[in-house]
Structure 1
Amino acid sequence: MEPGIEEGTLLDDRYRVGRKIGEGGMGAVFEGENTILHRPVAIKALRPQLALDDEALARFQREAEVTSSLNHPHIVAVLDMNFRAPPYIVMELLEGESLRARLLREGTVAQARCLVIATQLLSALAESHARGILHRDVKPANVFLATNAAVGFSTKLLDFGIAKLTELKAGNKRITHPSHIVGSGAYMSPEQIMAQPLGPATDIFSVGVLLYEALSGAKPFVGDDVTVTMARIVAAEPPPAIEGVLPPLMKIILRALAREPKQRFESAQEMSKALEPLLPRFSAMNLHSPLVMEDRTVPI
């Protein structure tokens, strides 16, 4: 256990730390309890050595502040934050698993569920973009399938740690100028890889990669290493259609994967509206049946 944040610790006379339920490069996530309100929470703790790193601490703080500014049913809720040693973020406790865990176990996700995941994810991104925030790291590990007694499952977008506030430029067009490449190689857009100005289309590209992988079990652009993969994203031809996927759905995914941002959907709302007419085609399927989850986890 990291010193200072371990099971049994009482943080700020309010949050009792429970068992560790997730871990990553930046830190760990614990079950917890608000001892005043007697409510379960998730506590995300930054590794002590990273708390001394200005860039890592700034990313951790950015994640908390950006996420807490977004009030949306498909974005994980931040309830509290602390940046004194030891730094931590208090979030809603989610039951379920990440889309990445789901794909590692099952390989693919059915078209009907992919449609629901996509429309909920795009709804979250539409809210984020409307507030001038680009996520820049949409990938299966950051998409959580939370169990929901009423509707079976609810998609939650996580980890705004490398989110970027956009800037207004000519024509009221929102863009950002990254000073260096950030993101997860296989899910980055060509313009993100080339450190060009970014807009909402960069997140839409990542959604396209995510959906292609969820439906086929393979990423649309792959190489022997992340450098080759990114080179193929920038230069390769569009990936082939996925056998068995509805042609209208495949057309939407391939448009999201267009190399040029202007060839993609103009907004998350536009992509979501393109997907919505396909939902009735699966009306005979039980979209709201519970997903089979192996454990409770909140990814880093």
Structure 2
Amino acid sequence: MITAGTRLGRYEIRSKIGEGGMGEVYLAQDTKLDRKVALKILPAEFREDSERVARFLREAQAASGLNHPNICTIHEINDESDLTFIAMEYIDGKMLAEKIKGDRFDLAQTLDIALQITDALAEAHARGIVHRDIKPSNIMVNGRGQIKILDFGLAKKTVAESEAETQQFLSQAGTILGTASYMSPEQARGQALDARTDVWSFGVVLYEMVTGERPFVGETTSDLLAAILKNEPEDVCKFNNEIPAELGRIVLKMLRKARDERFKNAKDLYADLKELQKHLEVAAARGVTMWPGAAHGFSVGVQAVVEARNSIAVLPFTNMSADAQNEYFCDGLAEELLNALAKIKDLKVAARTSAFS
């Protein structure tokens, strides 16, 4: 353990604030920029292990390429002295794991947190990066309710390298990377991974947030992995009759065994969560009750809200002129109208494909 007052270059250690498989984390003061930072330091006994060093450096490289308000910022990496460490943004807050144990999230908080996490993952997925270790202890919540995703130590570039290369680079014999409770079926089997494994892992986190329980349990790691591979999770609405059925549908879709049946990436998941949030906000503004306690209560409530909203569809335009070259104006005019109408608050605009079908 490094004592308070120790200087590591421009950083002065204040206190130890955490520890994980990838190293110890210390609060430090950046004496040049006069700011608090978190230093993740690779333990001395691991510095001779080339694989651990590679994984450690990999975290900094993966995260430093992402610029998003819900992803922890990497300031610097040092691997040239006796100590190998990453200097990163210091986040004054709590792990989501702590909040799940101690707090009861209301629906608005749950959706706000879920949307922040999903937006951050969407940014990573858009850049070809899969986190592969999403879990409550890798997610922090600061005092303003802002989310920060940590620890890209298992992240990989989906395009840059094959899964076989990644497993050879990252895995020890008999070791499965990631935390077992949040592993996707394909991760548990050691198969190739893509963005849908993060969707699954976050599905487990979201399930835990809304129910207080994990969807898959086992007395041993083997039992747990067997449950992930074979058992179906209970409907979240059975744990809490205030949970909208639509949220239950989203969570269960995230936890489909066959990844082709899940959301294909975090962007698609974000769209469904955002639509749910909008429906709830409209319902609250109009004083619509969501029928808690009924398995399909939210579906009925949302239907009532949707029917009550002003809505419009733009139908295809027909070229009535004798000049066939004007045909392209038809689609262009409809598209312009759709885009303009979509900007009007509280107006539901039918999707172009729906209106044209």
Deviation at 1:254, TM superposition (A): 0.4
2:84 maps to what in 1?
87
The equivalent residue for 2:253 is: 255
Equivalent in the alignment of 1:72: 68
- 1 or 2, which has the higher helix percentage? 2
Out of 204, 213, 219, which is 2:214 matched to?
A: 219
Q: Aligned partners of 1:237 and 1:40: how far apart in 2?
A: 45
DSSP-derived class of the 2:137 partner: helix
| Residue-by-residue CA offset, 1:216-273 (whole Å, 9 max, x unaligned) | 1110011111211111111112333333211011100000000001100111011011
Whether 1:185 and 2:185 are equivalent positions in the alignment is no
Superposition map of 1:78-227 within 5 A: 78-84=74-80, 85-106=82-103, 108-147=104-143, 152-167=144-159, 176-177=163-164, 179=167, 181-227=176-222
Secondary structure in structure 2 of the residue aligned to 1:230: helix
Change (3 A) 1:175 1:237: farther
The number of residue pairs the alignment matches comes to 271
1:24 and 2:24 matched: no
Residue identity matched to 2:155: A
Q: Which has the higher strand share?
A: 1
Structure 1 residue 50 displacement after superposition: 1.3
What are the ranges of 5 or more consecutive residues in structure 2 without an aligned counterpart? 286-357
Which shifted more, 276-285 or 262-271?
A: 276-285
**Kept in 2: contact 1:9–1:17 (CA 8 A):** yes
Determine the C-alpha separation between the residues in 1 that align with 2:17 and 2:66.
24
What residue identity is the alignment partner of 2:31?
T
Kindly report structure 1 stretches of 4+ aligned residues shifted beyond 3 Å.
174-178, 282-285
Unaligned runs of 5+ in 1: 169-173, 286-300
Which position in structure 2 is the counterpart of 1:38?
34
TM-score, L = length of structure 1: 0.85
State yes or no: 1:266 paired with 2:258. no
What whole-Å deviation, never above 9, does each CA across 1:266-298 have from its counterpart, x for those lacking one? 11011011011222425869xxxxxxxxxxxxx
Matched, 1:9 2:1: no
Contact 1:221 1:239 in 2 (8 A): no
C-alpha separation between the residues in 2 aligned to 1:186 and 1:282? Answer: 33
User: Bigger radius of gyration, 1 or 2?
Assistant: 2
Distance 1:247 1:175, change over 3 A: farther
Structure 1, residues 98-117: CA drift from partner, whole Å, max 9, x if none? 101112223x4322211111
Q: CA RMSD in A?
A: 1.9
- After superposition, the Cα gap between the structure-2 partners of 1:175 and 1:134, relative to the gap in structure 1 and judged at 3 Å, is farther
Kept in 1: contact 2:12–2:29 (CA 8 A): yes
Question: C-alpha displacement at 1:204, in angstroms?
Answer: 0.1
The one-letter amino acid paired with 2:151 is D
Task: Give the distance between the partners of 2:199 and 2:223, measured in 1 at CA.
Answer: 22
| 1:157-198 deviation digits (Å, cap 9, x = unpaired) | 100001111137xxxxx9744535311111011011111121
Q: Secondary structure at the match of 1:153?
A: coil
| Alpha-carbon displacement from aligned partner over 1:2-42 (angstroms, at most 9, x marks no partner) | xxx43111112x11111111123332211111111111111
